[in-house]
Amino acid sequence: MPVIDDFGIESLAVGDVAPGFVVARVDTLSIDAWIRTTLSDAGMHETAALGETIPALGVGQIVESNSSDLAVGDWVYGLMSAQTHALMPASGLRKLTMQEGIAPGDFAGPLNVTGGITAWVGLIRVAQVQAGDLVVVSGAAGAVGSVVVQLAKARGARVIGIAGGPVKCSYLTQTLGADAAIDYKNGHLAQQLAEAAPDGIDVFFDNVGGETLDIVLDNLAPAGARVAICGAISQYQNLDDVRGPKLYLRLAERNAMMKGFVVSYYEADYPEAVAEISALMKAGKLTLPEHVVSGIDHFPDALLMLFDGGHLGNLVVRP
């Protein structure tokens, strides 16, 4: 696990803006679990080279442009990385279309590719949730999990969220509308899950992996269950020795499906995802509280917080 002393701050001048490039003032950075995997040679994503800026997706506003595609004042989304200003090719940024009731920071939260859009793709395209399904979500109090809970409810499913601690469990039921919440830190997870889902689980949206995945596989519905593998935050500290499920044969026994996904493969679905999530937000049926860490110098603190359970909802840095 990284420690604070592994990180440093550099003050650099932006310099000339070459043709096709722009400078964006970074507004909001999304702190996502995938960032941790870039700090390992065994990572699932590209490795962040030592001495370079830590990658992070975020939202910013153009303050200087040498591109015909983006103008000063435009809001954009992309790989801003852990910095206050990003000098980037315009082709690497997506211009945001702002709409009433949607703030720029929402594109680093419920409308973030690695946030709400990932939740939408995994639940609706991969797991093919249906009205009446019993859906279980691990890491349910995080950014992706929070949106999964609310999307599943909006689609007519019953939802059980798994989270750590009474505050997070109360958040799931009282704020997000989950039908039940299981505190994995308090009591036997397998027993609690069996009691909460006596007829089995139709859909499992997994953000955690490890032992939690095995416990859910052992509680799948007798036929037709779907498991969407979004992430495995329990395994990211030791990617050289990832522990897979021991009970994967439950998939065959119960005619179930388990599928992993990377949201970028579903780019054609982004407009539909944004439209549905935006409509729910405007109707007051979907919310995503922010845990804001202020100052780019506190980016490492925010990244480490992601793994110690010290936040609720969407964890962001505002430089």
pLDDT digits (tens, 9 = 90+) for 103-135: 999 999 999 999 999 999 999 999 999 999 999
**Is CATH 3.90.180.10 the classification given to domain 4-109+289-318?**
yes
Q: Which superfamily does CATH assign the domain made up of 113-264 to?
A: NAD(P)-binding Rossmann-like Domain (3.40.50.720)
Residue 244: its pLDDT value, please?
82
Residue 44: its pLDDT value, please?
58
> How many angstroms separate the CA atoms of 225 and 202, rounded?
4
**Burial of residue 6, with CB atoms counted within 10 A of its CB: 0-12 exposed, 13-18 middle, 19 or more buried:** exposed
Q: Mean pLDDT throughout 79-99?
A: 95
Q: Which residue has the tokens 């480490």?
A: 304
224, two tokens: 């037709």
Residue 232: its pLDDT value, please?
84
> How many angstroms separate the CA atoms of 86 and 21, rounded?
10
* Mean pLDDT score of the chain: 93
Pairing of strands 203-206, 226-229: parallel
Residue 37: its pLDDT value, please?
82
Encode pLDDT of 201-230 as tens digits.
999 999 999 999 999 999 999 999 999 999
Residue 42: its pLDDT value, please?
61
- H, E, C per residue of the chain: CCCHHHCCCCCCCCCCCCCCEEEEEEEEEECCCHHHHCCCCCCCCCCCCCCCCCCCCEEEEEEEECCCCCCCCCEEEECCCCCCEEEEEHHHEEECCCCCCCCHHHHHCCCCHHHHHHHHHHHHHHCCCCCCCEEEECCCCEHHHHHHHHHHHHCCCEEEEEECCHHHHHHHHHHCCCCEEEECCCCCHHHHHHHHCCCCECEEEECCCHHHHHHHHCCECCCCCEEEECCCHHHCCCHHHCCCCCCCHHHHHCCCEEEECCHHHHHHHHHHHHHHHHHHHHCCCCCCCEEEEECHHHHHHHHHHHHHCCCCEEEEEEC
Residue 235: its pLDDT value, please?
72
Q: Does residue 259 register a pLDDT over 60?
A: yes
Q: Does residue 20 register a pLDDT over 70?
A: yes
- Beta carbons of 313 and 143 less than 8 angstroms apart: yes
**Burial of residue 28, with CB atoms counted within 10 A of its CB: 0-12 exposed, 13-18 middle, 19 or more buried:** buried
7, two tokens: 């990180």
Residue 236: its pLDDT value, please?
66
Encode pLDDT of 288-309 as tens digits.
999 999 999 999 999 999 888 7
From the list 213, 173, 206, the residue with the least C-alpha distance to 189 is 213
- Beta carbons of 304 and 2 less than 8 angstroms apart: yes
Encode pLDDT of 130-158 as tens digits.
999 999 999 999 999 999 999 999 999 99
Query: What pLDDT band is residue 310 in, cutting at 50, 70 and 90?
Result: confident
Q: Amino acid identity of 117?
A: I
Q: Mean pLDDT throughout 25-33?
A: 95
Least confident segment among 30-39, 251-260, 266-275: 30-39
Q: Does residue 242 register a pLDDT over 90?
A: no
Domain ranges of the chain: 4-109+289-318, 113-264
Q: Does residue 74 register a pLDDT over 60?
A: yes
